[in-house]
Amino acid sequence: MPNFPKIVQVRKSWDTAILVLLLTVLILASLTTEGFLTALNFSYIFSNTSEITIIAFAMLFMIIMGEIDLSVASILALGSAMLGWSYAKGAPIWLSILICILVGTLCGLINGFLVTKLGLGSLAVTIGTLALYRGVANGILGENTVNEFPEFWTSFGFDTIGTSFMPKTLPLIIFFGIMFGILLHRTPFGRRTLAIGQSPEAARFAGVNIIRHKMIVFTFTGFMSGIAGVVYTFRFSTAQADNGVGIELLVISAILLGGVSIFGGIGTMWGVVAGVLLAGSVESWLTLREINAQWRTIVTGLLLLLSVAAPVLVQKSRNRRERKALKS
Amino acid sequence: MNLLGRLKPKSREGSLAIILLVAIGGTGLINNRFLTGDGTRDLLASTSVVALLAIGIAPIVIMRHIDLSIASTVGLSAWFVADMSAKNPDFTWVQCFIVGPIIGVLVGILNGLLVAGLRLPSLVVTLGTLYIVRGLVYVISNSVDYNAQEMPTSLIDDLGQKVFFGLLPLTFSLVVIIMIIMALYMKYTQAGRDCYAIGSNPPAAELVGLKVFRRTFLAFVFSGFMAGLAGVFYLMRFAQVDSTAFYGQELAVVAAVVIGGVTIFGGSGTVVGAVIGALLVQTIQGGLAALGVDAFWKSAINGLLLIIAIYADRVLAVRSEKQLLGQRIKERN
């Protein structure tokens, strides 16, 4: 493929573009808005994006592999509902947390089973399980909410470490970030993920066990959604069935903003981190400028469109320039 | 051939219709209010909006694309029509039926340009427009909502309540007419056949010179148009609207279309199937409610239905592939 190096170049430049964009937003926001460049605000940004970041680490592998999981927010809700339900029924808190994470992993396993063993399309299946898991959460909790949790755990959700600006959840996120970063960029598992995304056929001929690989990725996406369920529950100190509605779209748009190709095969961990931070900073900027929450829905949509359109437009203009250069 | 074999329906639509009748009959046996004139009328009336949308996105799904922005478009159209008729007392149903679809078409043009023009993945694009359009509803509505008093009586009372023969609501008969026109269009025109060709193999369709851009673009405009129209139908059905109208219902429509036998991988399925799928989903929902199942489980049942439909689709596809292969081997020997 003669075109191949060109695509990689554009992707690389989009990776850098996102960093420049992030810096621009940070600088502009700090200059124009009082209270943006404060420790407290950054603490908010980190803490508001915690579930999105946690899920995004796993979803990154999913999208690189050319699959998608739209059910993550519902897994979060089902985990959270189970956590609240079992705790309200008298289970010790550690058991409830364990249940939440296990339920998440199980949901991921079910997704993986449907996609790999039954050979169904991940997009359609996870639209189905999105409704299914959320529905089960609804069935378990109904309109009830559980919001009496031990203070130790709720403070883990929204307090900062000592007097610093770091939320208590930050070390957890950094830990997962490093783990998944190493997994993607420094291990055979990561290389295989990229290979499957580039060309599943070629990967299969090269001896990659695609079914097992996809199964693992679906399962740990469920696991991470379960973890996000725990964080969400304690951050808002509430377990209810409509926890985290629509988060799947925020996760996907943050990942695409980070330069990961929706067609699979291309993506980096630091791109995703930049994407999440960009989305979080824009959100916080809008909040501080007291721009209506309603406008933020529009901004999310625009960011998502921008994230897919920008690389294509860059490529198109580059092609045109090259054609002109060839002509002259 | 034995009698049973002859009775076996030839088409996917046939088997779906049988499942539908069994579902209706079964529920009717247990709860006899379900089968009365009231029950049927209610079922048909509440299916109208989803059925319209299913007709709208069927060509898109057949072309291996998807449109998730439809539910937001329904909300925008419904709110806008209600708002305009509240501010202009001389609005009648005619203006409503003009304004709603125009709004839908505008959204459709945006989707079409991004998907067909820039060749962006339709899933991501329509996720984006889902947000943008819903955000617009939030912003322009400013938390104002409208009730029946503020809407034209010619739309809500005269047309919305009109029922033929005590059974068939006007809205659903319009759906049937549109369905028939679209079914004929998809089956007998060049453009309709092109949709199937594009969906079965997009690169090949391009190579043989089909107008991929135009077909894709127009399919999104059509889906937008239907969503705009569905917004007006929404008002006729519910006679009230707020900024969250029809929120999150896009997946129910996708489920209806897939259950109706339109493959999510493109290239097969019919508009008639999509409408039957919508009826089936609504019947099962209504049936479970009639049987006393808690409404909280509604979404779980929807999801389960969708997964079963996708699985059935997959099994059928594998089986027919094997049959074709067997035939070819036989011919060769």
Which CATH number is A158's domain given?
A: 1.10.3470
* pLDDT the model gives residue B7: 47
* Closest-CA distance of chain B to residue A162, Å: 38
B15-24, B171-180, B311-320: which is most confident: B171-180
Give the start-end residues of each E strand in chain B.
163-164, 168-169
The closest CB to that of A305, out of B125, B306, B307, belongs to B125
pLDDT of A4 higher than 60: no
CB B120 within 8 A of CB A297: no
Range of the domain at A284: 4-319
* Closest-CA distance of chain B to residue A168, Å: 31
The per-residue pLDDT for range B289-313, each reduced to its tens digit, is 777 777 778 788 888 888 888 888 7
Distance of CA A312 to the CA centre of its chain: 22
Q: Is residue A11 part of a domain?
A: yes
* pLDDT the model gives residue B9: 54
Residue A68: closest C-alpha in chain B? B123
* Closest-CA distance of chain B to residue A54, Å: 21
Cβ-Cβ contacts under 8 Å, A295 against chain B: 135, 139
CA terminus-to-terminus distance, chain B: 25
- Gap between the Cα atoms of A285 and B98, Å rounded: 40
Number of domains present in the structure of chain B: 1
Q: Is residue A195 part of a domain?
A: yes
CB B33 within 8 A of CB B290: yes
Q: Which two tokens stand for residue A325?
A: 């250069």
- Contact partners, residue A317, CB within 8 Å, separation at least 6: none
Query: CB–CB of A128 and B120 under 8 A?
Result: no
CATH for B94? 1.10.3470
- Among B270, B64, B62, smallest CA distance to B183 is for B270
Number of domains present in the structure of chain A: 1
Q: Is residue A324 part of a domain?
A: no
* pLDDT the model gives residue B109: 97
Q: Is residue A327 part of a domain?
A: no
- Contact partners, residue A220, CB within 8 Å, separation at least 6: A58, A61, A105, A108
Window from A184-188, B192-196, B306-310 with minimum mean pLDDT: B306-310
B176 CB burial (10 A radius; 0-12, 13-18, 19+)? middle
Q: Give ipTM to 2 decimals.
A: 0.81
Query: CB–CB of B139 and A298 under 8 A?
Result: yes
CB B75 within 8 A of CB B129: no
Residue A241: closest C-alpha in chain B? B296
* pLDDT the model gives residue B295: 74
pLDDT band at B57 (very low <50, low <70, confident <90, very high): very high
Looking at residues A57-66, what average pLDDT do you find? Answer: 95
Query: CB–CB of A298 and B297 under 8 A?
Result: no
- Contact partners, residue B93, CB within 8 Å, separation at least 6: B152, B154, B155, B158, B159
Q: Is residue A325 part of a domain?
A: no
CB A167 within 8 A of CB A46: yes
Helix axes A93-112, A72-88, angle to 10 degrees: 150
Q: Is residue A292 part of a domain?
A: yes
- Contact partners, residue B273, CB within 8 Å, separation at least 6: B12, B13, B16, B58, B260, B261, B262
Q: Is residue A326 part of a domain?
A: no
Cβ-Cβ contacts under 8 Å, A131 against chain B: 251, 255, 299-300, 302-303, 306
- Residues of B in CB contact (< 8 Å) with A are 66, 114, 118-121, 123-125, 127-136, 138-139, 248, 251, 254-255, 258, 264-265, 294, 296-304, 306-307, 310-311, 314
**B57 vs B89 pLDDT, higher one:** B57
- Among B223, B252, B222, B244, smallest CA distance to B79 is for B244
pLDDT of A2 higher than 50: no
Contacts 24+ apart (CB under 8 A), B320-326: none
pLDDT of A118 higher than 60: yes
Range of the domain at B324: 3-332
- At residue B43, what is the residue type? L
Cβ-Cβ contacts under 8 Å, A301 against chain B: 127-133, 135
pLDDT of B4 higher than 60: no
